Structure formats: C-alpha cells, structure tokens
Amino acid sequence: MNKRHFLGTLAAAVLASSAGSAFAQDNTFKIGLILPMTGPFASTGKQVEAAVKLYMAQNGDTVAGKKVQVILKDDTSAPDVTKRLAQELVVNDKVNVLAGFGLTPLALACAPIATQSKTPLVVMAAATSSITEASPYIIRTSFTLPQAAVGIADWAPKNGIKKVVSLVADYGPGLDAEKYFRERFTFNGGVVVEALRVPMRNPDFSPFLQKVRDDKPDALFAFVPSGEGAALMKQFIERGMDKAGIKLIGTGDITDDDQLNGMGDATIGVVTAHHYSASHNSALNKKFVDAFGKANNGLRPNFMAVGGYDGMHVIYEAAKTTQGGRGDALLAAMKGQVFESPRGPMFIDAQTRDVVHNIYIRKVEKVNGQLWNQEFDVIKDVKDPGKVK
C-alpha cells in the first residue's frame, strides 16, 4: 500500500467511524435502567424490568425515529453501586434518561448526578415523599407512602378501629408511613399506642409482634417494603395475632400482588390502601395483567411493575415531544403529563414532579380460587400529602 493510499484509507476510516458514532448518538434514545436484580429486593427489579420489556413489546422500540436502547444495570440494592452505575451511564453511555430505583436510598444516592448532568431521572419504584425534592431533575411514577398511609388512616376509625400499634421498616418510606398514618389517625380521633420500627433488611418480626400482642390494639398498622410482606404475614399468623382479635391494616405493600397468592387464606379480610391492585377493574388493566402474565410464566404484576410501565409511558411521550431529546427539554416534556395507567387515571404534577393518582381501599378476597386485593372504595386524585404544606 503506498503512503497516499494508506492516508486516504485512514481518513475514510476516521470519517466512517465519526459518522458512525454521530449516527449512533443521533439515532439512539438511551435509557439507563438501574434496579436491584439480585439480593433481597430482586423481586422489585424483576417486576420493573418485566414491565419495561412489556411496554416496549406493545409500543415498539423506536420513538421519534430513534431506536430505544435500554441499558439494564444491577445495583444489588447497594447505594454506592447505584451511584457509580448512574455516573457511568451518564458519562460513558451518555444516556438520555436514568430510570428504575428500587429503594429510597438508591434513588437519593443518584440525585446529585441528575442535577449536575441535567439528566432526567424517573423513579419507578422508591416511594419516600422527599425523593422528588432531592433534585429538580427527578420525576416519579411510583407512589408516595403518605398518599397510602393517609388513605387507610381515614378508613380505619370509621370502621371500628380506634387503638392501633404501628410497625414499619426503619428507613425513609417506613418513617413516612408511621408519621402520616399517626397524624391523620389521631386527627380522626384514633390513638397510636406504640410505634415499632424493624430493620429494613431481613427483619425478624417475632419480638415486635409479641409487643403488639401485649398492647392489645384493635389493629396493627404495618408497612414493609415489597418482598417482605409474606414474612410479616407468616409471623403475624404464627403469633396468633388474628386469633387474639388484632386486625391487620396497612399500605398495600404488605399484601403485595407479587406474593399475595402464596400468603394463604389467613390474609382474607386484610384491608389496605394503595394506588394499584392487579384486580383493578378497567379494560386497560385487564390487558396489562394478561399480557404481563403471558410474557412472564403467569407472574402477576405488582405495584412496582405498574410504576415501571408508567415510567416508560412518561419517557416515550417526552421523547416523542422532543424528537428524542435530553436535558431540560426532555424534563419539561415529562412534567404535566396526564394519562390512563393500569392503576387508573394519573398525572405528573408539573410543580412537584410527583405522581397524582387515586388511592383505593382494598380488602383481600378469594375470587375463582385466587387471592386478590379487591378495591371497594376510592379517594380520587391524591397529591402527595408530604408536599401539601
């Protein structure tokens, strides 16, 4: 090869590769999806990932002429890992949006990265009220604990429950659940006689439940994160709480659709408040639950799945509006979106960037041989009480 020919080939190669990378940049819309795929909260990762895949199967993998690329990373539910992964996704992969976030500490760890890089960050799972205040680039499609806790605190005193012990996982969402339940329940004339906090990871509920028995409340109000509900229920029954006449109430996290069917008939009658039940009665939800089950060996979608599915909707719609944009333009197009979710109507409050949706009061019932959270009452268009000052 002579020198001239070599240089010409090199120039062509450089051109081709830079054109190639420009092409890749311009024709790809990248979503960095960070979830706990292993470890104690892997069910959350599995549910959200399955919902993201379903959304793309139903809505295509191109948006505004760009190929949607989801880069999935497992943070093992360790905040330092989540933060490092978010940094890499922003700096190396140049993602348009960060999404996922299975637990509050994991979302909070990434807030500074979203702010500094002006990357919209869609919280699909975590639910402590304050998360959206940690960065102006955070949007939430999951729910907030105050929304659910206030719902059940309104229902309980009207239904013969006046004396309650609360039991919550000892971190952000649990502290929100405890506080907002107590405030509203007390306002409604009830009394919380004891507030118990259990470790967030692998809690042993037995010693706490013994205290509850001794306190003899009308009901135990509980919050534990998704994945721990079955263990709580098992120990609640083993300790003979239901036989002692102590009812169980809570946010819908404790009768999680991911585990409910395996929890047994002792759950029948448990009343909770939540934004999503797999048995929500709408055509859109029936289609969602059917398609989700078909694609995942019969798995029932839970509230984590719906947060992931709706998060994808918010991202796709914003990508359409901005022709596959990023930064402030993409963020602006996420704010104020109004749409029908499998959970019912929902919107993203443009001021708070948080989700506004219905909170349903539900009771566990057996229908056609399966356990379901059957919605029987609704509080419409609930804003996060943590932000209504």
**Rounded CA separation 195/362 (Å):** 24
Task: Kindly provide the b/e burial profile for residues 344-372, where b requires at least 16 CB atoms within 10 angstroms of the residue's own CB.
Answer: bebebbeebbbbbbbbbbbbbbeeeeebb
Residue 300 tokens, joined: 């029932």
Residue 297: φ, ψ to 5°: 55, 35
Smallest gap from Cβ 144 to ligand DHB, in A, equals 9
Q: Which is nearer to ligand DHB, 190 or 307 (CB)?
A: 307
**Rounded CA separation 235/241 (Å):** 9
Q: What's the DSSP call for residue 300?
A: P
Q: Which is nearer to ligand DHB, 89 or 149 (CB)?
A: 149
Smallest gap from Cβ 361 to ligand DHB, in A, equals 18
Please name the helix (run of DSSP H) or strand (run of DSSP E) that holds residue 263, with its range, or none.
Answer: helix 260-263
Q: Which is nearer to ligand DHB, 172 or 203 (CB)?
A: 172
Cβ pair 28, 66 in contact under 8 A: yes
Smallest gap from Cβ 290 to ligand DHB, in A, equals 24
Q: Which is nearer to ligand DHB, 96 or 255 (CB)?
A: 255
User: How many other β-carbons are positioned within 10 Å of the β-carbon of residue 329?
Assistant: 13
**Rounded CA separation 372/225 (Å):** 19
Residue nearest ligand DHB (C-beta atom): 225
Smallest gap from Cβ 200 to ligand DHB, in A, equals 8
Cβ pair 96, 30 in contact under 8 A: yes
Q: Which is nearer to ligand DHB, 234 or 286 (CB)?
A: 234
What amino acid occupies position 368? Answer: N
Smallest gap from Cβ 289 to ligand DHB, in A, equals 19
Smallest gap from Cβ 224 to ligand DHB, in A, equals 8
Q: Which is nearer to ligand DHB, 143 or 292 (CB)?
A: 143
In terms of Cα–Cα distance, which of 323, 320, 359 is closest to 337? 320
Q: Which DSSP string corresponds to 73-128?
A: EE-TT-HHHHHHHHHHHHHTS--SEEEE--SHHHHHHHHHHHHHHT--EEESS---
Smallest gap from Cβ 170 to ligand DHB, in A, equals 12
Smallest gap from Cβ 376 to ligand DHB, in A, equals 22
Smallest gap from Cβ 103 to ligand DHB, in A, equals 4
Q: Which is nearer to ligand DHB, 63 or 114 (CB)?
A: 114
Those residues whose C-beta lies under 8 Å from the C-beta of residue 243, and which sit 6 or more positions away, are none
Q: Which is nearer to ligand DHB, 31 or 127 (CB)?
A: 127
Q: Which is nearer to ligand DHB, 45 or 324 (CB)?
A: 45
Interface positions with ligand DHB (CB under 6 A): 44, 103-104, 126-128, 172-173, 225-226, 253
Please name the helix (run of DSSP H) or strand (run of DSSP E) that holds residue 46, with its range, or none.
Answer: helix 42-59
Task: Kindly provide the b/e burial profile for residues 143-174, where b requires at least 16 CB atoms within 10 angstroms of the residue's own CB.
Answer: bbbbbbbbbbbbbbbeeebeebbbbbbebbbb
